[in-house]
Structure 1
């Protein structure tokens, strides 16, 4: 690109020659390079094939045109058109390497739509020997990585150059960015989230972890479960905003009223919108709505435990100490307010120390700490009834 824009003809010719002989596919070349350069590379490739004595067949121009249309449809965020083009041409998503292309160049929402078609092979390699997870590791978008891993992508699988997803991600991340400290409540660095998610998935797979998100001692009462999960998600958003948002997006929880629990009660002066009484709503309809909300909240917490176990451990301590009651610092007698403020400051200090300790562990090279202990709920943790002041 530099040679092209600065008109360094000799260097440009050398670069084009390298690309002609490379294993980069036509779609990548079309996407990344100016039309003048990409057209020249494809022309030289065709001539090279014609002159070769190996008997290699020339790329079918009709097929190449059809594949180009599919990629353009993805560029236009039109997955319906992609489906139509595939059906008309008898091609598949894998034939077009459509998922590879979407992960490399499209909005995460479009990637999810392509994944929802359900016909793409997550283990398929492109011409360079990369799986879709390897391409996602190059892009470094946490939501895409988590979606692929949840659908069964293998984090330990290596590309043709021997690199797995986490090593690809690390190679493209500056140590300065990875080791940068994040203060409590601030946005975490995306590069570090990607690396940590991939490393935890590799450990999870190797240890065959099967972590339950709820303590066996929790009562079966639906309202109590909702109370706990609402507050847990609310405080996750307060203490770990980037990680909480990722977990919520992945669980599709943003479509649910999440401004609930104690934080919402404080701001609204009510118990939150999830359980407001609707006199026109039948008990059956209300049960379905609450179960749907419970599922979204449960999936959010499950995702957090799977990909962000250290953050979950901090939340375990926060909720186990019954600290949410102390949020209402201006309620009660002067003596009660004083006691609650003291408890709040003590736990806030503990949480902050735990947060920085977690960051230090993440930054320590070659760490091999087991995630099973930090991912599991603390023994004896119970869902306590919240006192209302």
Structure 2
């Protein structure tokens, strides 16, 4: 067995009496010289790397330093951001940039500096601003930074972020940069990273990996992606719409060799005719010709549901065309396709707010889940980066579409809790149950805060005495307000029954308030629908946003107090006396 001991230093410090030959107190053994030299080289390289990193930071587009404008000699515009660069460094590190800078035709002079547009210098693919900064950091320092969470994770609270769409998309952009800008060591690094995603990710999220592998001629990754897609339930239409023809052909060819393909019966003439008519409907939708769609539906026995026409339109058509198709009222808006997705699920994947709103206006069910338990809101969250969701919108600017989709779906889920009946049909503890319960908890909590005596009475009648104020906020701080907490000795079915019982008590509380204090309830209902999504977390956001939230909260309190005064004035005296007697009984 090897004997391991603490390593000794290559430099030994001695007293002056032991020093000879003018060694100035240091006795350096000849065997330690190579190790000392290696250590010095590492220290020097680290210093050089850190110095160059400072140079990169000072050339960030957000910097206004004189150093930046004085020493950088070129600019690359990426997604509207001006990134100042030093051509000597990029040319030395990348053959692509060396060739680019030798060609003056691709640059435009601006303030005495050469200017390049990222979208114009790329032969294919896309490299975004954040990915380009990470790539530049490697060129300047030789060190690979970790991916920034705000652009390489999603906002879904239960996602491990090991294969969600933002993580994959960011790695794909870095792979494009590594291949196009010809940095081989990074190509090897990101090839391993993308391979790790393939089996973990949803098959829809494998498509971007397949595309980068196809265009960059990464044979190993491409083969793995084709095998994953071939084993999946992606339909031929999706393949043809999403993949290059060569890749589609390879996937279909591989599918024919799989064992399950042998069990399929060959298509009959009737099936072939049916498929042809469905294709005609899809082609009419591709042409934005809704009148032709209506004609085809009239002349054949194929319905819009048979062709999954709504799913197709929501996936690939212009939002205006989607609205026209929905307004035909010839399809079930809650119908599922062969993969188990409702039309709203497909709309959530596309992240187009106008389509989602149009579907919700047709009473589509917002709580339906996919086979893996995701509802439309969860799908949107898993596709949305924190950077996009948290972007502050200036007055007059359009809200980020990703955030708008999430807010619309959240608000619709809350609206569905306003009725008397809450139906929980799933055997599992799904997101809709938690969403409804959280809304009811917050509604009763606000009632307690604004008119405590009356709320207490309604809660006692409904046997809901333990409602916590602001459970949504408390849940984020690890307190007992977290509705998802479960005793280790409590089974999922017992937990579900406990939460349903709690929900019934809260519903009874709300209905009691509506009966005896209708004006207050009306104000609270409006608040829960219009303002609560922004006020769930009073401490969240910029200082300016917090001031606005607290100001709105004060306005709400004044509105409720006025409504409560109006309620008391309108209550018959005998009813007021009855409420007081009941209050004494429960006090």
- When normalised by structure 1's length, the TM-score is 0.53
- The answer for the alignment partner of 1:11 in structure 2 is 221
Contact 1:4 1:12 in 2 (8 A): yes
For 1:51 and 1:136, the matched residues in 2 are separated by: 31
Q: Does 1:111 align with 2:303?
A: no
Contiguous gaps of at least 5 residues in structure 1: 210-304, 314-351, 362-371, 381-389
Q: Does 1:100 align with 2:311?
A: yes
For 1:157 and 1:375, the matched residues in 2 are separated by: 36
**Offset, 1:4:** 1.7
Contact 2:255 2:261 in 1 (8 A): no
Q: 1:197 to 1:373 in 2, by over 3 A?
A: farther
Could you say which structure has the greater relative contact order, defined with CA pairs below 8 angstroms and 6 or more residues apart?
1
* Residue 90 of structure 1, aligned match among 301, 320, 335: 301
Matching of residues 65-214 of structure 1 within 5 Å: 65-208=276-419
- The answer for the alignment partner of 1:64 in structure 2 is 275
For 1:185 and 1:358, the matched residues in 2 are separated by: 23
For 1:19 and 1:148, the matched residues in 2 are separated by: 30
Contiguous gaps of at least 5 residues in structure 2: 1-210, 421-525, 535-543, 565-587
Contact 2:336 2:342 in 1 (8 A): yes
Contact 1:124 1:131 in 2 (8 A): yes
Contact 2:348 2:377 in 1 (8 A): yes
* Residue 309 of structure 1, aligned match among 517, 527, 530: 530
If each structure's strand is expressed as a fraction of its own residues, which one has the higher value? Answer: 2
Contact 1:27 1:68 in 2 (8 A): no
Deviations 1:249-284 (A, max 9, x none): xxxxxxxxxxxxxxxxxxxxxxxxxxxxxxxxxxxx
Q: Does 1:357 align with 2:549?
A: yes
SS where residue 336 of structure 2 aligns?
coil
Q: 1:202 to 1:311 in 2, by over 3 A?
A: closer
SS where residue 195 of structure 1 aligns?
helix
For 2:284 and 2:290, the matched residues in 1 are separated by: 7
Contact 1:178 1:189 in 2 (8 A): yes
**Offset, 1:180:** 1.8
SS where residue 531 of structure 2 aligns?
helix
For 1:169 and 1:39, the matched residues in 2 are separated by: 31
Contact 1:197 1:308 in 2 (8 A): no
Contact 1:27 1:71 in 2 (8 A): no
SS where residue 206 of structure 1 aligns?
coil
Q: Does 1:28 align with 2:249?
A: no
- When normalised by structure 2's length, the TM-score is 0.36
Q: 1:192 to 1:149 in 2, by over 3 A?
A: same
- Structure showing greater Rg: 2
Q: 1:178 to 1:14 in 2, by over 3 A?
A: same
**Offset, 1:200:** 1.1
Greater mean alpha carbon deviation, residues 35-44 or residues 54-63: 54-63
- Count of residues paired in the alignment: 240
Contact 2:366 2:412 in 1 (8 A): yes
Q: 1:91 to 1:193 in 2, by over 3 A?
A: same
Q: 1:92 to 1:45 in 2, by over 3 A?
A: farther
**Offset, 1:159:** 0.8
**Offset, 1:311:** 10
**Offset, 1:86:** 2.7
**Offset, 1:198:** 0.7
**Offset, 1:207:** 1.9
For 2:527 and 2:324, the matched residues in 1 are separated by: 23
Deviations 1:178-237 (A, max 9, x none): 12222333322221111111111111101229xxxxxxxxxxxxxxxxxxxxxxxxxxxx
**Offset, 1:67:** 2.3
Contact 2:345 2:376 in 1 (8 A): yes
For 1:104 and 1:77, the matched residues in 2 are separated by: 13
Contact 2:407 2:533 in 1 (8 A): no
Q: 1:206 to 1:67 in 2, by over 3 A?
A: same
Q: 1:112 to 1:7 in 2, by over 3 A?
A: same
